[in-house]
């Protein structure tokens, strides 16, 4: 088992012919991911990386039957692309692009929730199930099939956690970068739920950072719903408080958001904390008694 992506995942790449999409699609194909085609409006009928290109997601759905979409289109077009995939019946959408306007995401998030779609990102490294497939920009080489589920808001921090669990021989069941934007498609809680239900996953690493209250909410969820051990690292323990503009931010945050708030709330929920970034892997090994 694994979560989100496995041998049955048929991937459609939106913005397929762009340079980033091409680079990462090549690497995904090399890794064994089943990319069935792509969409670039205006380039329908072409063949790219030996796969068909379509003008619309609808055509792609009819011809090559994808069940997941991987989006690389520029930020101004992400709202359109995500909604196009969603309205075409694709149930798993990964959006890598960074810089998507927050108000676009408010509308997108509301609509994908109504349609029961899993959206990961934007502004994320994507997802990988080691040995089976990847949809994203992460380096495949640091991964290894295994039993640790990894969730993170940050790209390179995810790689750090992955590398450490690989070096200790633990490996990963699946890794999910949910992205660092204010309105992510999926939250820590959405992914925690999936790892809790996944038989391959023995323990979960949750890498958080300062800002927002996603970690605190995850802590509350873990306390009541997650039986597997959760190990967490929170980045930004030494980040200075920023300049402020008015009071609204502080009122809505209600005393949440700093690293120490998050660590305290996670500890209270029974989450194991790696105090130092370099100790994520060893903390997992310690908790699992390896």
Partner 1 sequence: MNLHEYQGKELFGKYNLPVSKGIVIDDPENALKACRDIGGSKWVVKAQVHAGGRGKSGGVVLVENPDDAREFAKKWLGKRLVTYQTDSNGQLVNSILIEECTDIASELYLSAVIDRASKKIVFIGSSEGGVNIEEVAKNTPDKIIYESIDPLTGAQPFQARKIAKVLGLDSQQTKQFTPMLLNLMKLFVEKDLALLEINPLVITSGGKLHCLDAKINIDSNAIYRQPEIEEMHDSSQEDPRESEAAKNDLSYVSLDGNIGCMVNGAGLAMGTMDTIKFYGGNPANFLDVGGTATQERVAKAFKLILADPEVKVVLVNIFGGIVRCDLIAEGILAAIEEVGVEIPVVVRLEGNNAEIGSQILLESGVKIESKNDLAEAAKKAVELSK
Where in the sequence numbering do the catalytic residues fall? 247
Query: Strands 47-48 and 51-54: what pairing?
Result: antiparallel
Closest CB to partner 1 among residues 45, 116: 116
Total residues binding partner 1 (CB under 8 A) = 63
User: Under rule CB under 8 A, which residues in 125-164 are in contact with partner 1?
Assistant: 137-139, 141-142, 152-157, 159-160, 163
Closest CB to partner 1 among residues 160, 202: 160
Q: Which stretch binds partner 1 (CB under 8 A): 4-12, 143-151, 193-201, 246-254?
A: 246-254
Close Cβ partners of 198 (under 8 Å, ≥ 6 residues apart): 1, 2, 3, 149, 173, 174
Give yes or no for a contact between 139 and 150, defined as CB atoms under 8 angstroms apart.
no
- Read off the tokens for 181: 């934007």
The closest alpha carbon to 207, from 128, 141, 149, 120, belongs to 149
Q: Which stretch binds partner 1 (CB under 8 A): 46-54, 103-111, 191-199, 260-268?
A: 103-111
User: Under rule CB under 8 A, which residues in 182-221 are in contact with partner 1?
Assistant: 182-183, 207, 209-210, 212-214, 217
18 binds partner 1 (CB under 8 A): no
81 binds partner 1 (CB under 8 A): no
Site track 37-76 with partner 1 (rule: CB under 8 A), x = hit: --------------------------------------xx
Give yes or no for a contact between 264 and 220, defined as CB atoms under 8 angstroms apart.
no
Distances in Å between the Cα of 89 and the Cα atoms of 68, 116, 196 are 10, 10, 26
Of 42, 47, 251, 289, the residue at the interface with partner 1 (CB under 8 A) is 251
């Amino acid at each position: 088992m694994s979560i989100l992506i496995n041998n049955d995942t048929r991937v459609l790449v939106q913005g397929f012919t762009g340079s980033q999409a091409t680079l990462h699609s090549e690497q995904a194909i090399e890794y064994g991911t089943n990319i069935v085609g792509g969409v670039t409006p205006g380039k329908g009928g072409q063949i790219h990386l030996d796969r068909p290109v379509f003008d619309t997601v609808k055509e792609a759905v009819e011809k090559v039957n994808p069940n997941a979409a991987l989006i690389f289109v520029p930020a101004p077009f992400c709202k359109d692309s995500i909604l196009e995939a969603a309205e075409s019946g694709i149930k798993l959408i990964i959006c890598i692009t960074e810089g998507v306007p927050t108000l676009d995401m408010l509308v997108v998030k509301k609509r994908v929730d109504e349609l029961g779609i899993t959206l990961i990102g934007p502004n994320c490294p994507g997802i990988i199930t080691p040995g089976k497939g990847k949809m994203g920009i992460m380096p495949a080489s640091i991964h290894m099939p295994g039993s640790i589920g990894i969730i993170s808001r940050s790209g390179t921090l995810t790689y750090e956690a992955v590398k450490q669990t690989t070096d200790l021989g633990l490996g990963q069941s699946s890794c999910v970068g949910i992205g660092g934007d204010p309105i992510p498609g999926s939250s820590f809680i959405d992914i925690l739920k999936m790892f809790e239900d996944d038989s391959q996953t023995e323990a979960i690493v949750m890498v958080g950072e300062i800002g927002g209250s996603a970690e605190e909410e995850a802590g509350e969820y873990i306390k009541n719903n997650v039986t597997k051990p959760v190990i967490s690292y929170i980045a930004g323990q030494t980040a200075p408080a920023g300049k402020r503009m008015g009071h609204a931010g502080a009122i809505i945050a209600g005393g949440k958001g700093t690293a120490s708030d998050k660590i305290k709330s996670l500890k209270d929920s029974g989450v194991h904390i790696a105090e130092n970034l370099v100790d994520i892997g060893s903390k997992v090994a310690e908790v699992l008694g390896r």
